[in-house]
Amino acid sequence: MRGAERDPVAPLPLARLGQWLAPRLGPGVSDVRVGEPGPPGAGQSSDTLVFDAQWVQDEKRCHGGFVMKRQPPTDRIFLDADVLDEYRTLRALAGTGVPVPAVIGAEEDPAVLGARLFVMARVPGTVPTGKPSIHTAGWLPTLTAAERRIVWSSALDALVAVHRTDWRGALAFLPGADEALGAGKSGPGAAGQALLTAHVGRLGRWYRWATAGRSFPVTDAAWEYLRAGLPDVRGSEPVLLWGDARPGNMIFGADLSAAAVIDWEVAAIGPAEIDVAHWLVFDEFATSSGVPRLPGFPGREAILDHYGRVAGRTPQCLDYFEVLQAFFLATTLIRQADLGVRAGCFPAGTDMGRGNAITQSLARRLGLPVPELSADYLRHRTPHGSASTGAAL
């Protein structure tokens, strides 16, 4: 997730970073020179920097591009996200059918480089982002309909690859794995219910932390709906969940295929419906407020048909899971609004966390009065809105 401005981490010591990189770039590497780091084109919830480096190896001058993700020191979007868990996830996915950036190394001791962090290779390509919608701005509108169909198909195929990944070894540290492994002995139905109960419980704990006792009428009602409906919901077998599944979290290569699946900070083990619903909610969001859908980038029916054919499963109980994921996204907006207030981008008491496109969608799904869009949210969604709160939502 892209996030708002937070308390800055310690300045990055470039000379020390070069020394740290040298043994991780390969044998015989010396004279590592790190360029000045800067923010990427699209920020992340963890503090993210991109930089170039040059070094000598086997008497040859080499160079490369890198991305560093650092753990925010205090203010953050998510309650429990650990930047080093993302590193472990990427490392475990190397060599699987899921395209991910190559990880270079991780540092657990914040005293070394100012924060707990990891470094990965920068993947060349394009991320389909755009305000107010990927259908009106950014990269997708520059493509032909046939080219967009290639991007769309490749993106969904990458999601299927995520769900096909064997998580029971190197990825069994992720949230949900213990419940899946333990309940699996009682049969798939018990495993699915235990997984979903644990997932909703974690989400509720985060929501209570984010709202801090304040009233948020639409999301409060959504939370009650999720709790009340939980006993009647069944999901598919446990899979690796990406957690923020959407084309905007992919890098596409020159051949328009998915070159890298990125942003794994809320990865977990759970029913595939969570990722599918997340994808559908984001797809709906991209064409909300009358935004016309670009030819070659089909919507809900085609998404579910393609996913079902390639994955060999039909997602169940999507009404529930879409409320679940819209609730997840609305909670990120509550946090972004609070961080924007702290950064001086929004006034104290802003209603951005209550009146936004996601809470409007939730209200319609639940038959509630639809809130008006907050002026701060509209400003936040404009192409020239506050950079410090620039977000996918």
Please name which of 44, 36, 47, 30 lies closest in space to residue 14, comparing C-alpha atoms. Answer: 36
Query: DSSP strand E in 229-351: where?
Result: 238-241, 250-252, 258-261, 268-271
The answer to whether the beta carbons of residues 68 and 20 sit under 8 Å apart is no
Q: Of all residues in the chain, what percent carry a pLDDT higher than 90?
A: 81
Place of tokens 């919830």: 45
Place of tokens 């994955």: 311
How far apart are alpha carbons 139 and 136 in whole angstroms? 9
Q: How many CA atoms lie within 13 A of 300 on its CB side?
A: 13
Q: What is the pLDDT of residues 90-103, one digit of tens each?
A: 999 999 999 999 99
Q: At a CB cut-off of 8 Å and minimum separation 6, what does 339 contact?
A: 3, 4, 5, 6, 75, 77, 389
**Predicted local confidence at residue 186, as pLDDT:** 58
- Four-residue CA torsion sign, 208, 213, 214, 220: positive
How far apart are alpha carbons 293 and 136 in whole angstroms? 9
Query: What does the mean pLDDT of the chain come to?
Result: 91
pLDDT over threshold 90, residue 386: no
DSSP conformation letters of 42-101:
S--SSEEEEEEEEEEETTEEEEEEEEEEE--SS--SSSS--HHHHHHHHHHHTTSSS--P
The answer to whether the beta carbons of residues 17 and 113 sit under 8 Å apart is yes
Q: What is the pLDDT of residues 218-241, one digit of tens each?
A: 999 999 999 999 999 988 889 999
The 10 Å Cβ neighbour count of residue 255 is: 9
**Predicted local confidence at residue 348, as pLDDT:** 95
Q: Of all residues in the chain, what percent carry a pLDDT higher than 70?
A: 91
pLDDT over threshold 90, residue 160: yes
* 206 against 40, higher pLDDT: 206
Please compute Rg for the chain using Cα positions: 21
Query: In terms of residues, how long is the chain?
Result: 393
Phi, psi of 220 (to 5 degrees): -60, -45
**Predicted local confidence at residue 70, as pLDDT:** 94
Q: At a CB cut-off of 8 Å and minimum separation 6, what does 333 contact?
A: 352, 353, 356, 358, 359, 377, 391, 393
pLDDT over threshold 60, residue 86: yes
3-state secondary structure of 117: strand
How far apart are alpha carbons 275 and 157 in whole angstroms? 13
Q: What is the pLDDT of residues 27-74, one digit of tens each?
A: 999 999 999 999 886 544 458 999 999 999 999 999 999 999 999 877
Least confident of 135-149, 318-332, 374-388: 374-388
The 10 Å Cβ neighbour count of residue 146 is: 10
When pLDDT is averaged across residues 311-317 and rounded to a whole number, the result is 96
The answer to whether the beta carbons of residues 325 and 274 sit under 8 Å apart is yes
How far apart are alpha carbons 107 and 114 in whole angstroms? 10
Least confident of 83-87, 254-258, 288-292, 294-298: 288-292
Peptide bond between residue 124 and the one before it cis (omega within 30 degrees of 0) = no
pLDDT over threshold 80, residue 163: yes
Please name which of 243, 229, 225, 234 lies closest in space to residue 45, comparing C-alpha atoms. Answer: 243
Q: At a CB cut-off of 8 Å and minimum separation 6, what does 74 contact?
A: 6, 7
The answer to whether the beta carbons of residues 334 and 220 sit under 8 Å apart is no
Q: Which helix (H) or strand (E) holds 31?
A: strand 29-34
Identify the top-confidence range among 159-163, 181-185, 337-341: 159-163
pLDDT band at 3 (very low <50, low <70, confident <90, very high): very low
The answer to whether the beta carbons of residues 126 and 255 sit under 8 Å apart is no
**Predicted local confidence at residue 97, as pLDDT:** 93
Q: What is the pLDDT of residues 101-148, one digit of tens each?
A: 999 999 999 999 999 999 999 999 999 988 889 999 999 999 999 999
Q: How far is it between the farthest Cα atoms of the chain?
A: 68
